Amino acid sequence: MNSPATEKFLGLDHLRTLAIVMVLVYHYRMFAHPEWVDKYGQFGWTGVDLFFVLSGFLISKQLFEQLKHLDKICLKEFYIKRFFRIIPPYALTLILYFSFPLFREREALPSFWKFITFTQNIELDLLHFGTFSHAWSLCIEEQFYLLFPLFLMLFVKFQKLHTIKYFLFSLLSLTILLRIISWQLFIVPNQNTDNTWRIWYMKIYYPTYTRLEGLVTGIGIAYFYEYSSCFKKFINSNGSLLFFIRISSCWIFVLDLFKSNFTISFYNWIYISFNWLWINCNVGCFKILFFISFKIYFICSAGITFFFYLSHAQRNYTLNTNGIRKIKY
């Protein structure tokens, strides 16, 4: 039996493109660039969190729709789609990196087995193995694609799907707790040393267990949108209002970063609500954006944008071989 047709949200295509642009501009700061890149690109890291929320929402919503209409998850179909969506461009990028050292933006690559098992983000030493480091986010997403459907099937098997919201809240609390523990164990003893930034990336920024809040937020939105008629009605009825709230919250968020010495290890806590509004607004007001969707559909194509993201560091390095510099972390 074929899976039900997935509800389309055109606004999310725009978000995907925006997230890619944000990350590209942020990473472009490593190379020779005009001054405005530093000014606006410093917020590009938020694009990664947006990717996680989008993935959590879109993937879990597909699975929730299958459960709602078919009372089962088409696991084989799901994994086949994920394979052909991700593996071909990812494999091509790996071939370029491992076959042509000239294209590497830094000196060394992590072990090949870490890339093919999608565990490169675990204990990633950015200083010594910084080449293709941006694959860390893909590793987290792939781990999510692999494990979440299996967890969801367990909830269905034991007829406990209605309790998944409590599981998500517990998971959110756990990832925050693990981040606090990691901060105390690894960052505090090494504060004010030249090694702090490397440890911060290795122990807090890259590991899966400290970066689950974005995916959990997306799953939570998808669950309530699919199973709560009141939530869905509210979102669809107040899309324009939520859109303007989202714009206001974004501006306040940016001002706060300018004014305060923000402890970025914990920024995701605030960014949960930031992204929640972002997704909800686009779910609710996607009709507003329909008239420009066709024009940018080509650049929003999943395959094109995904390969563009995977290979952007190679292109930047090739074009700026003599202009590379280190970002101040």
Q: What is the pLDDT along the chain (329 residues), one digit of tens a residue?
A: 566 656 666 667 677 777 778 777 777 776 667 777 777 777 777 778 888 888 899 899 999 999 998 889 999 999 999 999 899 999 999 998 898 887 777 668 899 999 999 999 999 998 888 888 889 999 999 999 999 999 999 999 999 999 999 999 999 899 989 988 999 999 889 888 888 889 999 999 999 999 998 899 889 989 998 999 898 887 777 766 666 666 566 555 555 555 444 444 455 544 554 555 555 555 555 444 444 444 444 444 455 555 556 655 554 544 454 444 444 33
Distance CA 308, CA 290 (A): 24
Yes or no: say if 326 and 30 are a contact pair by the CB < 8 Å rule. Answer: yes
What is the total count of domains within the chain?
Answer: 1
pLDDT at residue 127 in the model: 84
- Please provide the size of the chain in residues: 329
In a domain, residue 5? The reply is no
Quote the domain boundaries for residue 119. Answer: 10-319
Residue whose C-alpha is closest to residue 102's, from 328, 329, 319: 319
In a domain, residue 72? The reply is yes
pLDDT at residue 328 in the model: 36
Residue 118: left (phi > 0), alpha (psi -120 to 50), or beta? left
pLDDT at residue 129 in the model: 87
Distance CA 149, CA 32 (A): 43
In a domain, residue 158? The reply is yes
In a domain, residue 2? The reply is no
The residue type at 299: I
Residue whose C-alpha is closest to residue 253's, from 280, 275, 286, 279: 275
In a domain, residue 324? The reply is no
pLDDT at residue 100 in the model: 85
pLDDT at residue 217 in the model: 87
Distance CA 296, CA 316 (A): 23
In a domain, residue 165? The reply is yes
Distance CA 57, CA 309 (A): 20
pLDDT at residue 39 in the model: 72
In a domain, residue 193? The reply is yes
Distance CA 263, CA 277 (A): 22
Distance CA 281, CA 236 (A): 9
Give the number of other CB atoms < 10 A from CB of residue 201. 19
| Residue listed under structure tokens 């074009």 | 319
pLDDT at residue 161 in the model: 92
Residue whose C-alpha is closest to residue 28's, from 328, 324, 329: 324
pLDDT at residue 193 in the model: 86
pLDDT at residue 249 in the model: 61
- Angle at which helix 213-227 crosses helix 164-182, to 10 degrees, equals 170
In a domain, residue 45? The reply is yes
